[in-house]
Structure 1
């Protein structure tokens, strides 16, 4: 038996999220179906996290265990010819048996992309949320600074969140200006259900002068979802990278 680490990227538009669901098209389902054909085994994929319907990934990491004699480094190449065009197996390698795609991760980076053009760009609309409004980047950066650190993020997660421990550490929260918009990029020890989409919605409210950046500490302290901004739609969100070493602010 060997354990294989798989780096994948996907356009989440036409998927019902990462996790396998009966009768639904999912990332896990497509991967497991392809690997079952490739290895002639029933394979279970474990991901670093479960992205929601419509959310994308550039750096999703998975692992699976197999008896297949196929060299680990060739698995990704073979999968690229088997998977649908909206999933790409970027690379694969054998890893120690104590590696776990989720439990071994130290941090993740998500990016939320926003298009500010008057009319949405037809070629990037699947990957950017269209918000044609001017924003105050300085105010957004001030608000983002209050989010960095270890906090209870109950105010910034969905009311449907089932986990009881909602304390997470944000290592970095950046506002990146781009030619036709901007992105909110967040690196943290982990993220709660809808957390990044709510962080983005709240920071944009600050940028549009609907919320004072100095209000962020009080919103965190309230532990009340109704105090934070809206949950932004999924299309602008991308899982960029998963880190398997302590965060060093590179």
Structure 2
């Protein structure tokens, strides 16, 4: 009888081609491939894992969750230690535990939160450019916050996904969309030598019951354009109402995005492959 396991993960996605395994030749270049190789080596059996979110190339994770089944019952503390020994330094398994047989990293999730980090500065910080979007032009954060309210609730997000998406339903529900700006001073800056030039850091945090392909980056890109005064906030409303992708902003660059948190309900009470609207739209996202 197989045992079900859950892993909580963090990783720097900069040098990877994303979460999803791309075949044997590129297995070492994906997060899923690295994890499956390490687990299979440690447990001496072929392991396949499922992730809560299929993060794109260059996207990071602070709270990714993965599940897998194994034929043998093992000491989770020992395997956790072995995993972090074999994995590269830009990946870490934070927790490993046995779970209910029905638990699934993707289908049991009731919500996911993505975080986008921006440094709104005059001079880029060489130590943070890998993990935040650098913008020299000042953002109107108040305008962004007002526009963010348009996205909250259940909407058809056709205009905020890419043509690759093959979902039957584009309807998703955003529970929260928060934008927080903080002034950067010398003791907060990653590089104190340039602290006097720094203006503010901006964090955009989106919590939803599911995400379409590139949905988080499309919404973020639109909010940035509004903050820069390049498009009016009313355009976001029109996009939501019409689904017109021709009005869509550019994707926000991948390196500023993090899968921050995945929330689960009780065993057997999570979401299913029928998705949030009862239609056939699974919960996997790829941002």
- Runs (4+) of structure 1 moved beyond 3 Å? none
Name the residue aligned to 2:112. Answer: 108
CA drift of 1:73 comes to 4.3
CA drift of 1:67 comes to 2.2
Name the residue aligned to 2:129. Answer: 125
Name the residue aligned to 1:15. Answer: 16
2: CA distance, partners of 1:189 / 1:120: 35
Q: Which of the numbers 78, 82, 88 marks the counterpart of 2:82? A: 78
Q: Which of the numbers 204, 208, 222 marks the counterpart of 1:188? A: 208
Give aligned pairs, total: 246
Name the residue aligned to 2:54. Answer: 50
Q: In angstroms, what is the RMSD of aligned CA positions?
A: 1.3
Name the residue aligned to 1:29. Answer: 33
2: CA distance, partners of 1:29 / 1:137: 39
TM-score of the superposed pair, with normalisation by structure 1: 0.95
Structure 2: give runs of 5+ residues left out of the alignment: 185-199, 267-287
| SS at 1:54 equivalent | coil
2: CA distance, partners of 1:163 / 1:69: 37
Q: Which of the numbers 155, 161, 168 marks the counterpart of 2:165? A: 161
TM-score of the superposed pair, with normalisation by structure 2: 0.83
Structure 1 contact 159–225 (Cα < 8 Å) conserved: no
| SS at 2:121 equivalent | coil
CA drift of 1:98 comes to 0.4
Residue-by-residue CA offset, 1:2-34 (whole Å, 9 max, x unaligned): 111000100000100001113220001100000
CA drift of 1:120 comes to 1.8
Q: Is 1:235 aligned to 2:236, yes or no?
A: no
1: CA distance, partners of 2:78 / 2:8: 13
Name the residue aligned to 1:219. Answer: 239
